[in-house]
Structure 1
Amino acid sequence: MLGLPKGEVFIVPWTSDWEKEYQLEKKKIEHIIGQYIVNVHHIGSTAIRDLSAKPIIDIAIEMKDFQDGEKCVKPLVEIGYSYKGTNVLPERHYFNKGEPRTHQIHMYQSGNRFLLDQLKFRDYLRDNETAKNQYAKLKHELSLVSNGNKHKYAEDKTEFVKSILERVNK
């Protein structure tokens, strides 16, 4: 299953189809804006084997120059993305695709601290079964009490994410 309707928060069991979907989308993105890209990363819970997740593929794009993100808007819109600007999160161009939402692009300049933290968190959970299981339990509990509020759901995960990043950054 892929896609999260507006106003809903739920998680589903991990599937290898998410990696396949990421690879297909990555090829499309590289084809249309590859000249601006340093690297493309599968991030978020769908990138972590056996971790239940909201059924949205999160893609981080590392850009040579943050300002080049503006040049990517029109080509990404042409393949179905909506541009949400840079004010959703700091130092990030944000795009989403579909209704229900199936993909999100988080576009950063190479070396951006928010991107680096996302990659560190992903990699830590990939390598640490205990932390991955703790995160899975937390996500499940929060999805049940968030009442469809994606901002509350995300905010309530913040302390766990910070605790992992503190370990990684020591």
Structure 2
Amino acid sequence: MTVALVPYDPAWPSLFQQTVVELRAHGNPGWVIEHIGSTAIRGMSAKPVIDVAVRIADDSDFAAHRAGLEAAGWRVGSAVRAHRVMIFVEDGERTRIAHFFETASWDRVNQRILRDWLRTHPEDAELYERAKHAAAMAAQRGTASYNDGKTVTIQAIIDRARAERGLPPVPVSDKR
């Protein structure tokens, strides 16, 4: 499997803003939406996919707006099992992924914690970037999946970040 990591693109923040407008227009206009994932880390290479965290009141909030999002081209689909996920595909490629987290868990969302940590800890951002490139090469050789190749590094970084916030460690892998 080929994983295409590309250099940081200064257009990613604008693409994130466009995604916010789209999700609010077809979903709930009051949703809090944040840029997460590697495209949210200035200077970091990444798969060119905009990941966002969407704060929903609860599962009924998601359910009430799902049809509008689907009408706009979003579809439910992901191996993630800990929360709702919708993806947007253009020309056969995922371009945007929306992760929906309930308000009750918002402050403990690992994706948000990782983003905040990497933005303020350049040594861990470099460590993570090296792990991503090694994982991409392993995926290309067929010796490991891209996500599995990054998990050990992500777990170590998340453990540090959660500890600094007084949160207990939790497993980062939540895929089926």
Question: TM-score, structure 2 length as denominator?
Answer: 0.82
Alignment of 1:168 with 2:158, yes or no, is no
Alignment of 1:10 with 2:4, yes or no, is yes
Cross-structure match for 1:40:
33
Alignment of 1:89 with 2:80, yes or no, is yes
Quick one: structure 1 residues 109 and 153, their matched pair in 2 at CA, closer, same or farther if it must change by over 3 Å? same
For structure 1, the 5+ residue unaligned runs are 1-6
Alpha-carbon distance between aligned partners in 2 of 1:24 and 1:113, rounded to the nearest angstrom: 22
Alpha-carbon distance between aligned partners in 2 of 1:70 and 1:116, rounded to the nearest angstrom: 20
Cross-structure match for 1:128:
121
Alpha-carbon RMSD across the aligned residues, in angstroms, is 2.1
CA contact (8 A) 1:14 1:49 kept: yes
Alignment of 1:58 with 2:51, yes or no, is yes
Quick one: structure 1 residues 113 and 64, their matched pair in 2 at CA, closer, same or farther if it must change by over 3 Å? closer
For structure 2, the 5+ residue unaligned runs are 164-176
Kindly indicate whether structure 1 or structure 2 has the higher relative contact order, using CA contacts under 8 Å at least 6 residues apart.
Answer: 1
Cross-structure match for 1:152:
145
Question: TM-score, structure 1 length as denominator?
Answer: 0.85
Cross-structure match for 1:30:
24
Dislocated runs of 4+, deviation >6 Å:
none
